[in-house]
């Protein structure tokens, strides 16, 4: 595997945005989340992304969470600062502010509010990359209405922009595409799988650099990633099968994911509430009961000494 500058490898979880009772950003709780990631052996985190409710934050608040994370991490892990915006001008402004705040890597989602041809996306992404030429950039593409950016597009973007270092794709049955990207780019782009890590066991042998799931199960998925990359496949599948029900259920809806993620972080003794900004998912009694059952099963994994994860578990649900 080719080494890239400021290399990210393994699990790079998305840090949720914690809120107080009046829906203000809870900076103390955010610091606890960074500590939780570090205690779980995580080497890099990303925020504010979709799983951070970035679309409910003002631009000032987006920069606020990055600043708090950078300052509190103090070099103990890398901070990947998401700079999403459908306006290129605003996205660049966010990215440059995040770089000034000390982010190690800047991340950007391909704008998918409306369908755009690759020629338009090329202009958007190229100008974004050129606006922060000395900072590694991770491009994320999730396109529910069609396929993600093409292999040829990725290769051209890499050839023209040396700071395009990482790519996160979120789509099923993408192993052949990942293989084509690795071949076309000479493995110079670090590939990441998103969507909660659902496809990680399929894609680790292909050569992905890591996965970008939620924070609450990041330490467990890091263990799975390590097992799979070291050839301990049976153990990787065993552990993966135990955590999968919680991941699969929560990903049915992004707002449901926020609730389930924060509930699990409460169960693990990290957060004090599971508040998401409105509009937020309001779970029915049966969903509340089932989420608690699923989360308890995750705690059972954490408490199972054979997996060696218990060090970061702090409370009983």
311 pLDDT higher than 70: no
pLDDT above 60 for 224: yes
- CA separation for the pair 156, 251 (Å, rounded): 33
The rounded distance, in Å, linking the Cα atoms of 177 and 164 is 18
Q: What value does the mean pLDDT take over residues 148-173?
A: 95
The Cα–Cα gap between 45 and 202 comes to: 23
| Global pTM value | 0.94
Per-residue pLDDT tens over the stretch 230-269: 999 999 999 999 999 999 999 999 999 999 999 999 999 9
Reported in sequence order, the residue ranges of the chain that DSSP labels E, i.e. its strands, are 10-11, 44-47, 78-82, 105-109, 137-141, 164-169, 190-193, 210-211
pLDDT for residue 256: 97
Task: Single out the residue of 33, 36, 24 nearest to residue 64, CA to CA.
Answer: 24
Structure confidence at residue 124 as a pLDDT band (50, 70, 90): very high
Comparing 25-29, 114-118, 296-300, the range with the smallest average pLDDT is: 114-118
pLDDT at 94: 98
* Token pair for 267: 């169960």
CATH code for residues 10-230: 3.20.20.70
Strand partners, 81: 47, 106
**Domains of the chain by residue range:** 10-230
Whether 1 has a pLDDT exceeding 60, the answer reads no
Confidence (pLDDT) at 145: 78
**Mean pLDDT computed over every residue of the chain:** 94
User: Regarding predicted confidence, which is higher, 228 or 311?
Assistant: 228
Q: pLDDT by residue (tens digit) across 164-198? A: 999 999 888 899 999 999 999 999 999 999 989 99
**Cis peptide leading into residue 200 (ω within 30°):** no
Average pLDDT of the residues in 100-113: 96
More confident residue, 315 or 200: 200
Predicted pLDDT at 312? 53
CB 302 within 8 A of CB 246: no
In angstroms, the CA 308 to CA 171 distance is 31
pLDDT of residue 172: 82
212 among annotated binding-site residues: yes
Q: Which residue has 């040829």 as its token pair? A: 152
Mean pLDDT, residues 38-51 taken together: 96
């Amino acid at each position: 595997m080719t080494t890239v500058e400021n290399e990210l490898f393994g699990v790079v979880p998305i840090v949720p945005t914690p809120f107080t009772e009046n829906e203000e950003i809870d900076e103390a709780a955010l610091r606890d989340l960074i500590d939780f990631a570090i205690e779980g052996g995580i080497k890099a985190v990303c925020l504010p992304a979709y799983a951070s409710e970035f679309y409910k934050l003002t631009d000032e608040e987006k920069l606020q969470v990055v600043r708090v994370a950078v300052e509190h991490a103090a070099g103990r892990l890398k901070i990947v600062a998401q700079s999403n915006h459908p306006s290129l001008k605003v996205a660049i402004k966010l990215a440059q502010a995040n770089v000034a705040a000390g982010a190690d890597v800047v991340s950007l989602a391909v704008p998918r509010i409306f369908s755009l041809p690759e020629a338009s996306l090329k202009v958007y992404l190229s100008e974004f990359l050129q606006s922060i030429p000395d900072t590694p950039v991770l491009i994320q593409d999730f396109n529910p209405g069609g396929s993600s950016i093409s292999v040829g597009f990725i290769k051209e973007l890499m050839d023209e922009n040396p700071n395009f270092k990482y790519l996160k794709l979120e789509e099923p049955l993408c192993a052949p595409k990942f293989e084509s990207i690795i071949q076309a780019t000479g493995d110079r782009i670090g590939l990441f799988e998103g969507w909660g890590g659902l496809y990680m066991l399929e894609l680790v042998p292909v050569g992905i650099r890591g996965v970008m799931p939620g924070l609450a199960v990041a330490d467990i998925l890091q263990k799975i990633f390590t097992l799979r990359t070291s050839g301990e496949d049976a153990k990787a599948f065993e552990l993966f099968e135990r955590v999968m029900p919680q991941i699969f259920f929560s990903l049915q809806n992004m707002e449901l994911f926020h609730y389930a993620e924060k509930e699990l972080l409460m169960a693990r003794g990290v957060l004090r509430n599971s508040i998401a900004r409105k509009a937020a998912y309001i779970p029915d009694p049966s969903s509340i009961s089932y989420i608690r059952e699923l989360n308890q099963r995750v705690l059972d994994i954490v408490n199972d000494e054979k997996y060696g994860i218990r060090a970061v578990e702090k409370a009983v649900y």
